[in-house]
Structure 1
Amino acid sequence: MGLHENKHDANDSSEKEDPLLAVPGVLLICCGLMLPCFHAERKEGRRHNTTSIQRNAVDSLSSFDVSTSSEKIPPTPHRIPPSPSRFAPSPHIARVGSVDLSVQQILRATQNFSHSFKLGEGGFGTVYRAVLSDGQVVAVKRAKKDQFAGPSDEFSNEVELLAKIDHRNLVRLLGYTDKGNERIIITEYVPNGTLREHLDGQHGRTLDFNQRLEIAIDIAHALTYLHLYAEKTIIHRDVKSSNILLTDSYRAKVSDFGFARSGPSDTEKTHISTKVKGTAGYLDPEYLRTYQLTPKSDVFSFGILLVEIISARRPVELKRAAEERITIRWLSRNSMKAT
């Protein structure tokens, strides 16, 4: 659910990145958080039965009811969240036949896609809050008409990948419709906005250090699951602050899988060759240069995101002075001055 971010091809964003300046600081911070999470995930995974959980397409997916959430664990200075297992339980799960909605039901649930129900807008479409007849609140992503006129690859890709994942730090798919003049994806509603909104202070308070740390660890757990424990390796390709949603208890959920790709199916291959997709400022310079996509591209984006979480600055801020516009360069210069 990318909000207020422009997604670019390689030609639009290659000038934003300087790998020589970006890599050192990012990797140091990234390794500090990612390595313990990878280790914990692997250890936890061995304790659980690895038998695959089969799904009967999207109609048999589990539903998420935020009104009965048991996740509301207040952050404490000394608590580091444990690594979730492969199929970590979510609060109150219910079967989802009732979320197989018609377009007319969706129109009623969003009051005809009312502006007052709008949550945000991304490259694929607009996201709305929807209240179902039974009182359940969900999020509805409606494709833009120009997207509908073109190929359905992005829509189909997001539905297919969301249907295969199940992790408490990933947004859960509830249903979809591809009928008439509408392409709509229905997901769980995450009530506390995006990480970017909180870094901008739009919710009236500043995230404290412990909340930022736990959010970063939640994102690391989500990426670890996608890269190592999903049925097939999944590379998100658009890890950024506006695609991180927060619950009322400030737990992070990664969203928007429109650009995601399955990793190489051949065990002898380490990458897939593909057109560059992503957001300027977060893109892996090696991926930009070679068009070879690996899970490391997500790790690089995660490193940029860590800098953003700590500094609250966007990766690219064009309104700043020239020497401060690229945050990672600004950070590198200040780090060298400090030493």
Structure 2
Amino acid sequence: MGCALVCPCMHGTEDEGSASTSYFKNVSVHSEASSQGGSAASKGFQASSYSSGVEQRPTGAMIFTMAELSKGTANFSVSNKIGQGGFGMVYRGKLRDGRIVAIKRAKKDAFEQRLSVEFRTEVDMLSQVDHLNLVKLIGYLEENHERILVEEYVPNGNLREHLDGSFGGVLDMGTRLDIAIDIAHALTYLHLYADRPIIHRDVKSSNILLTETFRAKVADFGFSRVGPSTDVGATHVSTQVKGTAGYLDPEYLTTYQLNTKSDVYSFGILLVEIFTGRRPIELKRASDERVTVRWAFNKFVEGNVLDTLDPKLEKTPAAIGIMERIAELSFACSAPTKGDRPSMRKAAENLWEIRKDYLAADQREVSMTAKSASTNHRNSGTERTHDLCRM
């Protein structure tokens, strides 16, 4: 994938602005305007007909009692708390059969109606998907004012925590590529292979959970929406904006037209985040670095793409060799208009090729290093032999 995928969206419509300024004009304005709402629904939210129809028990999902969940979490003890989000608190729990699970308990506040819709959406969506890289729904509880989701426990925190170094280690380049591919596979499944196309709408690093072997699982389907029906030629669904500032598709923001390419945009932003280590919006940085994708794109145009590599990563020849291709894919996915973005399947295929070339180059480095070490060892032995002969 070359620059041709990036360049078509660089419209030269600005009087004096550069191509990069034109590229990110809408992104920066809308991201900053949306930051007050964060990862929340717009005030004028209305439940979709799809979400509001979740009245029956989803296929395969267990229904739990409050007594069971209270016992499994030691009455929702603080010691079992493992996270907190817009939906509410997340606890580590243990079921009667011994399984360790994640228990998401919705908060009770002024946004109860919105949270109820998000709860039903997540139950409905998770009950109809099954993929290695998607968090699995085990069951739920909905009674009186309590709404609780019981999901598989993913023990290794989320991607953002690892990029921040919260777990002490550094994700190497190979692991980051694997994580990006896992996410691409999950989104490809949602867009193409679920019973009906599903648009996640909140693809971001804190919604990517990692297993102990660093396999990625996409979580949090509270904002998800069924996509356009391709059998009738629909290209989008019209809906009010939901998502998180910094990851939101600028075209969706202005037109309220949602489609699978909106997830592709978020994935492009996430790719930039994975390989730079920076959050999409960093207000404490200099003004020209606050919107990470704009800063990264400017570096790319200047020919300084290596300056964007996470400083915690070693700049090996193998890593250097793929950075430009990763950048090209990231910017293609995050193009301002959906027509210039690849599908998730194409993005996944591209990542596979990048990963294959990276592993081959990395193996060559390992072989050359081993060969060099062996040669040095033999030379050292020869020198010692000559020294002994001279004695």
TM-score normalized with structure 2 length = 0.62
In 2, Cα distance between equivalents of 1:153 and 1:317: 31
Render the CA deviation track for 1:121-141: whole Å, top value 9, x for unaligned.
111111111122332100011
Partner residue, 2:353: none
Which residue is equivalent to 1:127? Answer: 90
The change in CA–CA distance for 1:302 and 1:115 in structure 2 (over 3 A counts) is: same
Q: Which amino acid aligns with 1:106?
A: L
- 2:299 corresponds in structure 1 to 334
- Contact 2:90/2:104 (CA < 8 Å) preserved in 1? yes
Q: Which residue of 1 aligns with 2:163?
A: 199
Structure 2 equivalent of residue 312 of structure 1: 277
Which range moved further: 176-185 or 144-153? 144-153
Contact 2:59 2:127 in 1 (8 A): no
Residues 84-99 of structure 1 aligned to structure 2 (within 5 Å)? none
- The residue type equivalent to 2:154 in the other structure is V
Give the structure, 1 or 2, with the largest relative contact order (CA under 8 Å, sep 6 or more). 1
CA deviation map 1:211-237 (0-9, x unaligned): 000000000000000000000000000
Identity of aligned residues (%): 60
One-letter amino acid matched to 2:300: S
Change (3 A) 1:313 1:113: same
Shift of 1:58: 3.6
Amino acid in the other structure paired with 1:271: H
CA contact (8 A) 2:126 2:221 kept: yes
Q: Distance in 1 between matches of 2:22 and 2:266?
A: 12
Checking the alignment, whether the CA contact within 8 Å between 1:58 and 1:174 is kept in structure 2 is no
Which residue type is aligned with residue 140 of structure 2?
Y
Structure 2 counterpart of 1:180: 144
Aligned partners of 1:273 and 1:291 also within 8 Å:
yes
Distance 2:213 2:177 in 1: 14
Structure 2 residue aligned with 1:110: 73
User: Match of 1:60?
Assistant: 60
User: What is the alpha-carbon distance in structure 2 between the residues aligned to residue 22 and residue 314 of structure 1?
Assistant: 19
Aligned residue type for 1:290:
T
Which amino acid in structure 1 is aligned with residue 199 of structure 2? I
Q: Secondary structure at the match of 1:141?
A: strand
How far off is 1:148 after superposition?
7.0
CA apart distance, 1:274: 0.3
2:120 alignment counterpart? 156
Matches within 5 A, 1:136-151: 136-146=99-109, 149-151=112-114
Is the CA contact 1:215–1:252 (under 8 Å) kept in the aligned structure 2? Answer: yes
Q: Give the counterpart letter for 2:227 in structure 1.
A: G
* 1:211 equivalent among 165, 172, 175: 175
Distance between the aligned counterparts of 2:292 and 2:25, measured in 1?
A: 9
Residue 64 of structure 2: SS of its match in structure 1? coil
C-alpha distance in 2 between matches for 1:188 and 1:135: 13
Among 265, 274, 291, the alignment partner of 1:300 is: 265
Q: Secondary structure at the match of 1:162?
A: helix
How far residue 154 of structure 1 moved from its aligned partner, in angstroms, is 1.1
Residues 192-271 of structure 1: pairs in structure 2 closer than 5 A: 192-265=156-229, 267-271=232-236
Query: What SS is found at the alignment partner of 1:178?
Result: strand
User: Which of structures 1 and 2 has the bigger CA Rg?
Assistant: 2
- The letter for the 2-side match of 1:21 is F
Shift of 1:19: 7.1
Deviates more, 1:191-200 or 1:101-110: 101-110
Q: Which runs of 5+ in 2 are unaligned?
A: 1-20, 27-55, 305-391
**Per residue, is there more helix in 1 or in 2?**
2
1:100–1:176 Cα contact (<8 Å) kept: yes
